[in-house]
Structure 1
């Protein structure tokens, strides 16, 4: 189990040294994975722990609270993803006013050297950190020469001639390009969480939903054909369950908080409290305001029919 720490300051965590990689890691796409795996391989070569350092909230969320960038990955999924990549430690540092004001040099001295005893520090292309984004590869290398660590930057990762980035993946998701986004991510785009109670409105309309709260600005909003993972069939097997999902603020019923609502076709079980993942397959339409519940219900039936057809075709192609 990877050690998780949240604070810039504190006791020494790796007195015999470590190899550190730093990044936002939003989405943990193929570029992020290349950085983490490089750090992990260097750590194994040196016989020291590999540590991934990130921030929560993301710095851009902190600096633009009224217009934060769409989020790809929640903190929990980021931690699980980094653990799956084999790192020994994860720094999910609290990005607050104090950390925002911390000079890049002080961050290096206090955290990378003081807490982690870094022997090597690795970053992605053009990564910047510290107050006013004052930290870069040149600063790391200069401080490394003084403080006894090596710093490096991995090359950009490309797929089919295209540079992989979280920005590009957000663009694809917003445009409904899920297959292309999944290629850049290295896995299907999905959002996981624990099913919570809602207002039960969907049930009264004939469309009971499994609800996931999403406390950040979503990378996409609208109505989608989806698979729900973490659901068990009558035989006791976990199977991808066909579904139609709404992601957004529900303008027809005066919703505010972003909510992911998944209607599982022909499912009769109880999912409250269970952790599920909703995998996005195809966008059906944008979220919109209807004149009333009758008009909304009619559209929900059309959405469900379209989602069933898309998922059935996907399943047939996968088994052909």
Structure 2
């Protein structure tokens, strides 16, 4: 999969482009239905499947708030879309100027003139252009005018709930990982670059890879059984336990993500990893002594390894 950052960096013509349009935060099963439809049509036309999305999230630009907590980082989005089989991923830089672009200008200048799109695929509630006036009905008018076929994909329901990023964020926030996973179609994940920690875990006998807390949707603070994938070797995975929280026993108030990777002893500072959350083990708590903390960590590992043996 080729990744292009910025419309201005599109410097080639693609054969029979079929484009999935959207913010696609979460790449959930509803999104996947839209994306797979574009991929299937591109294959049918012997063409190119393109996912066109935006960075940062439009709500961060058009409102005064920080926007929603993101389900996926850019790295996670790239990882998931490559697995789905997208040919080209385009991140358009969403600015105030871009938000003022009239829907017809976006359709003509970007989709028609730059990409020469054959077919567009969007979700049922997709809007675009200045003040979100580009509804799917208006998009249908414009697509007919510019000889582009529009495909509006119906919402996906699971157990009478429409699959949505908003609902998934709520599930993650509340720690309902299995409910979130059911709507996502894959485990809740956290990714980032491994940074230098204070080596406290190593002194306790449990060396950890440390990640920074960023503005994304996190589950409740606690300990989780996880699977770890390194960006440098995506075909291989490791298991371990992760603590996300404030480390009340040793580093009170300091927010962090720490992962103890089983049977692993390499220098991986600066490497990017993806962590899949597979099982909640316990909430974070403060221990009276370091010895009690060590005992509990050993028990966390025991619980997780026993679970792995049974699944």
TM-score tier by shorter-chain length is 0.7 to 0.9
Aligned 1:4-19 pairs, distance under 5 A: 4-9=3-8, 13-14=12-13, 16-19=15-18
Q: Secondary structure at the match of 1:118?
A: coil
The farther-off stretch of 298-307 and 192-201 is: 298-307
Which residue of structure 1 aligns with residue 241 of structure 2?
A: 243
Asked if residue 312 in structure 1 is aligned to residue 305 in structure 2, the reply is: yes
Q: Structure 1 residues 144 and 253 mapped into 2: Cα distance closer, same or farther (>3 Å)?
A: same
Does the aligned pair in 1 maintain the 2:242–2:257 contact within 8 Å? no
Which residue of structure 2 aligns with residue 111 of structure 1?
A: 110
Does the aligned pair in 2 maintain the 1:241–1:264 contact within 8 Å? yes
The farther-off stretch of 75-84 and 212-221 is: 212-221
Does the aligned pair in 2 maintain the 1:72–1:170 contact within 8 Å? yes
Q: Structure 1 residues 41 and 62 mapped into 2: Cα distance closer, same or farther (>3 Å)?
A: same
Unaligned segments of structure 2, at least 5 residues = none
Which residue of structure 2 aligns with residue 234 of structure 1?
A: none
Which residue of structure 2 aligns with residue 151 of structure 1?
A: 150
Runs of 4+ displaced beyond 6 Å: 248-251
1:248, distance to aligned residue in structure 2 (A)? 6.5
The farther-off stretch of 131-140 and 62-71 is: 62-71
Q: Distance in 1 between matches of 2:174 and 2:2?
A: 37
Count how many residue pairs are aligned between Structure 1 and Structure 2: 306
Asked if residue 170 in structure 1 is aligned to residue 163 in structure 2, the reply is: no
Q: TM-score, normalised by structure 1?
A: 0.82
What do residues 191-230 of structure 1 show as CA deviations (whole Å, max 9, x unaligned)?
2333221233444555532112343233334112222424
Q: TM-score, normalised by structure 2?
A: 0.84
What do residues 253-299 of structure 1 show as CA deviations (whole Å, max 9, x unaligned)?
443xx6422134675443323433322234455567x6xxx748477
Q: Distance in 2 between matches of 1:170 and 1:54?
A: 19
Aligned 1:15-164 pairs, distance under 5 A: 16-63=15-62, 66-164=65-163
Q: Distance in 2 between matches of 1:266 and 1:143?
A: 57
Q: Secondary structure at the match of 1:61?
A: helix
Q: Distance in 2 between matches of 1:220 and 1:103?
A: 38
1:302, distance to aligned residue in structure 2 (A)? 6.4
Does the aligned pair in 1 maintain the 2:61–2:95 contact within 8 Å? yes
Across the aligned residues of Structure 1 and Structure 2, the Cα RMSD in angstroms comes to 3.0
